[in-house]
């Protein structure tokens, strides 16, 4: 777990460590990430590193939190401009995330990060569920979904819908960053899946 000592650091030093983690992940898959290289780039001691972090999994939180912070304002803008349309928001989520593909360093970071999450799905899921606090802002977007346009409106049903859309989003993002599939074609397929969920697959009598 990321320790309070990390968050209590001066902004300049904390940012230097984050940039060192991002640089290391841009060149290495998670299983080959070197703490020695990170502390050298960040100009901190090994002892200091373990005052801030428990293990390498904490570095995954650093990365996810950084990308979430870079995206969250635009996600809320999508919610506001669409009057809380969950389907439009998830399409914008795809577009926002795939924009990171344009930056080579960010693309490599996401590729290595997603490969690690896919390979250690249960471990990372447990971590994100029980330890990671960086998704708090993202989790709150459910509160802004306009339920008036939905057939099923209670909390459980909205959560189920969110989980389905999130899984489709995750698979599509994986196809772009890890499998290297054409972003435009993946987007078309992604939107089609959302349209099917939105309209339903049963013919109305």
pLDDT in tens, 11-49: 999 999 999 999 998 887 666 789 999 999 999 999 999
Distance, in Å, from the CA atom of 28 to the CA atom of 37, rounded to the nearest integer, reads 11
pLDDT in the model for residue 123:
53
66 and 14 Cβ atoms separated by less than 8 Å: no
pLDDT in the model for residue 13:
96
Tell me whether residue 159 is in a domain: yes
**Domain CATH code at residue 190:** 1.10.357.10
pLDDT surpasses 60 at 77: yes
Band (pLDDT 50/70/90 cuts) for residue 201 is confident
**Segment holding 204, helix H or strand E:** none
pLDDT in the model for residue 58:
85
The token duo for 185 is 């074609």
pLDDT in the model for residue 45:
95
Tell me whether residue 204 is in a domain: no
Tell me whether residue 205 is in a domain: no
Q: Give one DSSP letter per residue of 38-106, joined into a string.
A: HHHHHT--HHHHHHH-SSTHHHHHHHHHHHHHHHHHHHHHHHHHTTS-HHHHHHHHHHHHHGGGGSHHH
What total of structural domains would you count in the chain? 1
pLDDT in the model for residue 124:
54
Domain residues for 126? 4-199
Describe the crossing of helices 86-98 and 183-199 by its angle, rounded to 10 degrees. Answer: 170
pLDDT in the model for residue 119:
57
Q: Report angle CA 100, 167, 152 to the nearest 5 degrees.
A: 120
> pLDDT tens digit string along 134-189?
555 566 788 889 999 999 899 999 989 998 998 899 899 989 998 999 999 999 99
> pLDDT tens digit string along 96-134?
999 999 999 999 988 887 877 665 555 555 555 555 555
Give the Cβ contact number of residue 205 at 10 Å.
3
């Amino acid at each position: 777990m990321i320790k309070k000592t990390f968050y209590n650091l001066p902004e300049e030093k904390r940012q230097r460590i984050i940039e060192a983690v991002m640089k290391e992940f841009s060149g290495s898959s998670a299983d080959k990430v070197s703490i020695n290289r990170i502390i050298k780039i960040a100009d901190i001691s090994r002892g200091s590193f373990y005052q801030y972090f428990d293990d390498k999994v904490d570095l995954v939180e650093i990365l996810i939190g950084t990308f979430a912070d870079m995206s969250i304002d635009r996600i809320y803008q999508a919610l506001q401009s669409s009057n809380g349309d969950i389907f439009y928001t998830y399409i914008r989520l795809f577009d926002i995330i795939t924009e990171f593909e344009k930056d080579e360093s960010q693309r490599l970071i996401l590729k290595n990060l997603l490969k690690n999450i896919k390979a250690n799905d249960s471990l990372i899921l447990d971590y994100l569920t029980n330890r990671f606090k960086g998704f708090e802002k993202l989790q709150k977007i459910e509160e802004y979904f306009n339920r008036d346009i939905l057939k099923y409106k209670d909390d459980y049903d909205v959560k189920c819908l969110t989980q389905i859309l999130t899984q489709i989003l995750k698979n599509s993002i994986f196809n772009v960053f890890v499998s290297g599939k054409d972003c435009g074609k993946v987007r078309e397929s992604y939107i089609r899946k959302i349209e099917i969920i939105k309209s339903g697959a049963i013919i109305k009598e």
